[in-house]
Amino acid sequence: MQQRMFKSDNTKYYCASLALEGVSPYFKARLFEFFNCDIELFWNSKKADIEEFSINNPDVKIPKTFLSKKEKINPDLELENALKKGYKILKYDDEKYPELLKQIADYPLALYYKGELSGINFNSTIAVVGSRKASNNAKESLASIISGMKNTDVTIVSGLAYGIDAKAHECAIKNNLKTIAIIGSGLDFEYPSSNKDLYREIYEGAGVIFSEYPPSTPPVSYNFPARNRIVTGLSFGTIVAEAAKKSGAMISANYTLEQNRELMCIPGLISNPNCEGIYHLIKNGASVITSAQDVFECLGWDFNQDETQIKLTGIEKNIFDTIQIEPMSFDALSLKLDVDDSELMVCLTGMELKGLIKQTNTKYYISN
């Protein structure tokens, strides 16, 4: 095995390493380390190098087609294609490559990205995963928890899928938090189509879109479980907001445990099949969270909440405390709180204008 100093023009080799379709990230990471994290030596490895690697790493499965696949890839073209499209590359040897991600066994050697890394604190990252067919209860619970992180430097990490993923990114943006989306396709694809606006909002200022796939890689199903290891690998802990027993969210939960990170679950309705995975995880030791403070305590973080946060007193506090327990209509609130209708309407209108509560399409009031 050769040893050499890093070259400053090694970006093309990192791009080429991401184009090795069907070669496991675990193998790539081990071979990369075998060459003392020198990507050029990794890329220029020969049969004799792989044989030596095999002797030193008998437990690592070596792809039979690794060398032949490598020969078909042109590093210069891979880099040229990415730069032509305006994509950026975060390399393992870059100062900004997250140290937390380097700790997982199958870290990506590099990531393509859109957006800006400035402003993102990789030392306060939290993953959020959950059902694509999430209930309103799960979405509202998640929104409540993330709203408690408002104006901190917490970064919310998720996968930009339907349901909980999208809600997590949206809530992060709404509460002045940065957010990171890890996608299961190349950056050429804004997928799913329903999240196109959210996709663009993230890379245009709210955070970063990351991908370990070449730009033209379509969003095929087998990419998403692998993507999940990066979502959890970038994060100090994972919040699970609804998960069926067999689901992508449960895969992420398992990655979280394998990576020795904190696993946190939002309790849901026991009658909801999408909560079966949640209660399975709780029974096996996952933390139960119902507030941002619960999350901070699980992670051992001490965040000072925004001192300018609105303090509620009197009727407003009674309204807020009541609808946090369950959504209520105007008439139900009037009856429960024994408040004059005109006074209640003034309070509700004021709280809506402050962004503290909102009305659902069924005219029920909920906390925002």
Contacts of 219 (CB under 8 A, 6+ apart): 183, 184, 185, 189, 191, 192
Please give the share of the chain, as a percent, with pLDDT higher than 90: 68
Measured CA angle at 31 (ends 27, 33), to 5 deg = 120
Phi, psi of 15 (to 5 degrees): -60, -45
pLDDT of residue 207: 96
- Span 245-266, mean pLDDT? 94
pLDDT(129) > 50: yes
Exposed, middle or buried: residue 132 (CB in 10 Å: 0-12, 13-18, 19+)? middle
pTM over 0.95: no
Mean of per-residue pLDDT scores for the chain: 90
Q: How confident is the model at residue 366 (pLDDT cuts 50, 70, 90)?
A: confident
* pLDDT tens figures, 13-23: 999 999 999 99
* pLDDT tens figures, 42-72: 999 999 999 999 999 999 999 999 999 999 9
pLDDT of residue 313: 65
| CATH 3.40.50.450 for the 125-299 domain, yes or no | yes
pLDDT of residue 94: 95
CB atoms within 10 A of CB 227: 23
**CATH second-level architecture of 314-367?**
Orthogonal Bundle (1.10)
Q: Which of 300-304, 332-336, 360-364 has the highest mean pLDDT?
A: 332-336
Q: How confident is the model at residue 317 (pLDDT cuts 50, 70, 90)?
A: confident
CB 69 within 8 A of CB 23: yes
CB 217 within 8 A of CB 105: no
pLDDT of residue 146: 96
pLDDT of residue 240: 96
Taking the domains of the chain in order of start, what are their residue ranges?
Answer: 11-81, 125-299, 314-367
CB atoms within 10 A of CB 83: 14
* pLDDT tens figures, 157-203: 999 998 999 999 999 999 999 999 999 999 999 988 889 999 999 99
Contacts of 66 (CB under 8 A, 6+ apart): 20, 23, 27, 50
Phi, psi of 362 (to 5 degrees): -100, 15
pLDDT(112) > 80: yes
pLDDT of residue 310: 55
pLDDT of residue 6: 40
pLDDT of residue 7: 46
pLDDT of residue 243: 87
pLDDT of residue 307: 40
- Quote the tokens at residue 171: 């809530």
pLDDT of residue 66: 95
pLDDT of residue 300: 93
